[in-house]
Amino acid sequence: MSLSLKQKQKQKQKLAPRQVLNARLLQLSNINLEQEIILELEKNPLLEQVESETHDLEKSEETPIDDLDVSIEDMYSSESPYFISEQKKEIPIVSKATFIEKLIKQLNELGLNDDEIEIAEEIVWNINEQGYLETELVLIADRFEILEEEIEPILYKVQRIEPKGIASRNLQECLLIQMEDTQGSLHYKIIEKSFDDFMHKRYEKICKKLGCTKIELQNSIDFITQLNPRPGEGYNDKFQTIIPDIIIAEDGEDWIINTNDNGFPELRISQSYNDQLKNKSLDSKTRNFFRSKMDSAQWFMEAINQRRNTLINVMGTIISFQPEWFAGDMNFLRPLKLKDIAEKLEIDISTVSRSTRGKYVDTPYGVFELKYFLSESITLDGGENVATFNVKRCLEKIILGEDKDNPFNDDTLVSKLADQNYKLARRTVAKYRDQLGYPVARLRKKV
């Protein structure tokens, strides 16, 4: 018996600390970013805040109105910088952990190594609002230059944090994960072996296939309907104060795009500490400390600038993809995916996801989350691709205009949409109606 040694070379991509910092700051909301800046000022002695020239003026409570460089009309105009800055002071800065941040916090409890945590975070950042993984594993594997099979065990662990079933790739997988403690039960077998029949309510076929009675089937259905089909919904704070991350204004045929961070502390390297670093009498330990803090300070400031540039570029790309909406037709959006923006800017999809999730833009038409401008496409019978946003808007308009004493059933909604050149299957219309939050016809009937 002979033993042979084989050497296998394998290359894995590991994000540099600077890239990790860029990603971390990009995912923060404006409120949490401001807190992060203040915290970094406290931690790093080489960082200092640039004092504003108007600092003393803002601090003085006895400054007469006549001395303020703003007119009475502008002072109380909702569009004036003075009003915005004063209004912002009234908003309490509260630390709010977003749903994504709560998920990421749980990842540290899974016993993953640093490389696996990076991959797990990538998975989390590609979860849509309903809690499903909206990116193929092969794309995540490609980014980290590993095999798709190597992602599967990490995905398995992510799917079992709270809420259970998060990051599932489809409804069947989501339900099975929530029922895995009862494998072998009738309700588990229904979803595992007769999922399609269950979704289309072919109950007699299920009874025949699984050898159960109608009463046993009904009990199992009651159990299944108590599960959470959308693990991502219902976890965000609906009363969270929204401060736009981006402000856009129309300027002729162009758009001016600015990040809403004028009130944030302006950072710079402390000159006194920088001078000490040049002192040749410093011992090596102190010099290394200063250098590490210097690198950290520079990276932090660069990350803030990178965040600003990324948000502006992503917003500009969204405007270029959705000219009709930004021209005033708020009932129309073109099909647009994260991948489209990523390819246009030549950046990772995860970067676009961080830029759009939980980020809001103040437009002339109101404040909207950037993900609002993204819409999946659907192919109509004529072969035309349209955004699901447009179909849902049309469907909602039909429902709102119906006679509440005799509301339209789903078959009638299909016919009404066809009259508007949206020819869809009944199950598709029912799905869109449900996503819009409207119940079936009998529950919409006026009592």
What are the boundaries of each domain within the chain?
180-226, 377-444
Q: What is the largest CA-CA distance in the chain?
A: 97
- One digit per residue, the tens of pLDDT, for the chain of length 447 reads 444 454 544 444 455 677 778 888 888 888 888 888 988 988 888 888 887 654 444 444 443 434 434 343 333 333 434 333 444 333 333 334 577 878 888 998 888 888 898 899 889 888 877 888 877 888 788 778 888 899 999 999 999 999 999 999 889 999 999 999 999 899 999 999 999 888 888 899 999 999 999 999 999 999 998 899 888 876 554 445 678 999 999 988 899 999 998 888 888 888 777 777 777 777 788 878 888 888 888 999 999 999 999 999 999 999 999 999 999 998 889 999 888 999 999 998 888 988 888 889 999 998 898 988 998 888 876 677 888 889 998 999 999 999 988 999 999 999 999 898 888 888 888 888 887 888 888 888 875
Residue 205 has a CB neighbour count (10 Å cut-off) of 14
- Distance CA(219)–CA(199), nearest Å, equals 16
| Res 53: pLDDT | 54
| Res 189: pLDDT | 94
| Res 383: pLDDT | 72
- Is this model's pTM higher than 0.85 or not? no
| Res 193: pLDDT | 92
> Domain 377-444 belongs to what topology?
Arc Repressor Mutant, subunit A (1.10.10)
